């Protein structure tokens, strides 16, 4: 939700026939609401970023372990083949 400017809010409220005291009260509540929503959104964004980082790190670790295991197995198999050939 994009924040409305003060002029847009006041113009809309005056069209509805709302008076100055009520406009001030509404603007105060609207600013409190925007601050609350901004803080909630920021917290969610931070938590989603942490979750993404944790998931990416776990997948990267798993991939690295798999690659290392694969390379280790490939070298051990080739050593066995070379070793067996030299016995013949």
| pTM of this structure | 0.39
Per residue in 26-43, pLDDT (tens digit) is 888 888 888 888 877 788
Q: Give the model's confidence band at 83: pLDDT under 50 very low, under 70 low, under 90 confident, else very high.
A: low
Per residue in 3-26, pLDDT (tens digit) is 677 788 788 888 888 877 888 888
| CA pair distance 71, 82, nearest whole angstrom | 17
Angle at 18 between CA 2 and CA 30, to 5 degrees: 30
Q: Average pLDDT of 48-53?
A: 80
Q: Give the model's confidence band at 2: pLDDT under 50 very low, under 70 low, under 90 confident, else very high.
A: low
């Amino acid at each position: 939700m994009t924040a409305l400017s003060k002029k847009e809010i006041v113009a809309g409220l005056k069209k509805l026939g709302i008076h100055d005291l009520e406009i001030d009260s509404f603007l105060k509540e609207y600013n409190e609401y925007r601050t609350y929503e901004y803080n909630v959104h920021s917290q969610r964004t931070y938590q989603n970023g942490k979750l993404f980082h944790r998931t990416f790190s776990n997948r990267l670790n798993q991939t690295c372990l798999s690659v290392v295991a694969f390379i280790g197995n490939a070298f051990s198999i080739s050593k066995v083949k070379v070793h067996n050939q030299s016995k013949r």
